[in-house]
A = this chain, B = another copy of it.
């Protein structure tokens, strides 16, 4: 059977589409008997009003725009799954743009989204993760957000009032490092991440603080930022393995670099976690299935996506929202970290 549309309902109820829309969206009073007839038809056909039906009367398109930097990093599809779940609850659909970290591309997508009249956007990665975002890029986003409700996920722009939803990456890093210290590690290295990005600088700072709080010295030669790829994890583990003195544990900026680090160590004949402990960050779906299973920090990616949509919906409804909504990360203890050999 063909899917029933708002047009079918209107036709059978012998009313205008606007009247059906008014009943669906509860935006204006409709005569009792007419309302009853429409509601009966909605029930009869199990009619699911789609985004457009909802938006027909309100000045809305029912579309949420989402801008992400890199879909091949499995963290982002997980956030999107949460966005999707929550958006569907209210009949919203969403359009996604993948910018592969290209700021000009971000600008272009912002203007396309504006032109296509999205009701709001969720912005992840790219310029909002830069330690020093150029003023014109920041201003562009501020101006956009003045017109269209905008939520930044896991990022921000200094000196602006943009609404943010973020996992507390600093607290997450502390959890991971404290776990390694409690296991008895005293020599701990740091692998991966790009230093000009806040997601890295936050972790670097939190790492140093957790080490200090634990009474441990940070060995600068074991601080090895690079990038976020599996290969960068491999590269920096090779680097570590070539040193005379090695740490007994490493904290990696994300699960991809942790997987790379484990792989390189295993290929070099080490056994993980017996010979070295490795902790990741993100809890991507594969972390649980990797061999050994990855001890990591969950940013609650799915929840992050859901929360972003809920904050955005509140903004679209002109409700007051907090400037920053923070999600507490969780340490996920699995197999890749244990006490060091005596």
A-to-B contact residues, CB < 8 Å: 1-3, 48, 50-52, 63, 71-72, 74, 77-78, 80-81, 84, 88, 93-98, 100, 104-105, 107-109, 111-112, 115-116, 136, 230, 259-260, 262-263, 266, 285-286, 289-291
Would you give 20 A-B contacts (Cβ < 8 Å), ordered by A?
A50-B108, A52-B108, A52-B111, A52-B112, A63-B112, A71-B80, A72-B81, A74-B74, A93-B108, A93-B112, A94-B97, A95-B97, A96-B96, A96-B97, A230-B285, A230-B286, A230-B289, A260-B289, A263-B289, A290-B291
- Which 9 A-B residue pairs are closest in the complex by CB-CB distance? A96-B96, A71-B77, A72-B77, A95-B95, A2-B136, A50-B108, A291-B291, A263-B289, A116-B116
Task: Known A77-B77, A259-B286; judge A104-B266 contact (CB<8 A).
Answer: no
A51 touches B289 (CB 8 A): no
Q: How many copies of this chain does one complex carry?
A: 2
Chain B residues positioned under 8 Å from A74 (CB to CB)? 72, 74
Chain B residues positioned under 8 Å from A71 (CB to CB)? 71, 77, 80-81
The docked-state distance in angstroms from the alpha carbon of A97 to that of B63 is 11
Chain B residues positioned under 8 Å from A108 (CB to CB)? 50-52, 93
A289 touches B259 (CB 8 A): yes
Chain B residues positioned under 8 Å from A81 (CB to CB)? 71-72, 100
Cβ of A104 to closest chain B Cβ, rounded Å: 6
- A259: nearest chain-B partner, CB-CB: B289
The docked-state distance in angstroms from the alpha carbon of A77 to that of B78 is 12
- A96: nearest chain-B partner, CB-CB: B96
The docked-state distance in angstroms from the alpha carbon of A116 to that of B291 is 46
B98 touches A80 (CB 8 A): yes
The docked-state distance in angstroms from the alpha carbon of A93 to that of B52 is 24
Cβ of A217 to closest chain B Cβ, rounded Å: 32
- A104: nearest chain-B partner, CB-CB: B3
The docked-state distance in angstroms from the alpha carbon of A100 to that of B107 is 28
Chain B residues positioned under 8 Å from A84 (CB to CB)? 98, 100
A107 touches B291 (CB 8 A): no
Task: Known A63-B112, A96-B97, A266-B291; judge A107-B72 contact (CB<8 A).
Answer: no
Chain B residues positioned under 8 Å from A1 (CB to CB)? 136
- A136: nearest chain-B partner, CB-CB: B2
Chain B residues positioned under 8 Å from A107 (CB to CB)? 3
Cβ of A299 to closest chain B Cβ, rounded Å: 15
Chain B residues positioned under 8 Å from A95 (CB to CB)? 95-97, 112, 116
Cβ of A126 to closest chain B Cβ, rounded Å: 14
Cβ of A93 to closest chain B Cβ, rounded Å: 6
Chain B residues positioned under 8 Å from A48 (CB to CB)? 104
- A263: nearest chain-B partner, CB-CB: B289
The docked-state distance in angstroms from the alpha carbon of A99 to that of B78 is 14
Chain B residues positioned under 8 Å from A291 (CB to CB)? 262-263, 266, 290-291
Chain B residues positioned under 8 Å from A289 (CB to CB)? 230, 259-260, 263
The docked-state distance in angstroms from the alpha carbon of A136 to that of B2 is 6
Cβ of A66 to closest chain B Cβ, rounded Å: 9
Cβ of A69 to closest chain B Cβ, rounded Å: 12
Chain B residues positioned under 8 Å from A98 (CB to CB)? 80, 84, 94, 96
A286 touches B285 (CB 8 A): no
B93 touches A97 (CB 8 A): yes
